[in-house]
Amino acid sequence: MCYTRNLHTEVLNHTLCFRQRAEPILSRIKEGRSRIILPAIDNIKYNTFEVQQYANAAHGYNWGLWCMYIIPPQDWLDKGDETAPIRTPAMIGCSFVVDREYFGEIGLLDPGMEVYGGENIELGMRELGLDCSAIVAYSLSC
């Protein structure tokens, strides 16, 4: 596998990347340059440094725009592939990988964003808006 485009990787200082995580990310972007890849996020216990693996989940919002974790649909679970994409209108803003040119096309991160956590709503909605009609912002179905 060879991917020769420039990528933008957003990783905050409290995140770590484990071995062999790049390959699935690069293969998914190679399949479609408009994909924004979000990693599976695990917890590292502060007192033992033990890795506590969380179940894979899609991100979503409730009507108060609070982030929610959604169990993937059964057809995704049936694939048996933890690296298979889960289509979702939401994302986490502190850790993602995207094709740099595509990221510029959808407007990058908002430099005026002053509240931590707002970028996940803004960027997720902007990306979703490119694929669906404006009504999606209300019904979240596409």
Phi then psi for residue 17, to 5 deg, are -120, 125
pTM to 2 decimals?
0.69
For domain 7-138, give the CATH number.
3.90.550.10
pLDDT band at 129 (very low <50, low <70, confident <90, very high): low
> Which residues have C-beta within 8 Å of that of residue 84, sequence separation ≥ 6?
76
At 98, which amino acid appears?
V
Q: Distance between CA atoms of 32 and 22, rounded to whole angstroms?
A: 16
pLDDT digits (tens, 9 = 90+) for 8-59: 776 665 566 666 777 778 888 888 888 888 877 778 888 998 988 888 888 8
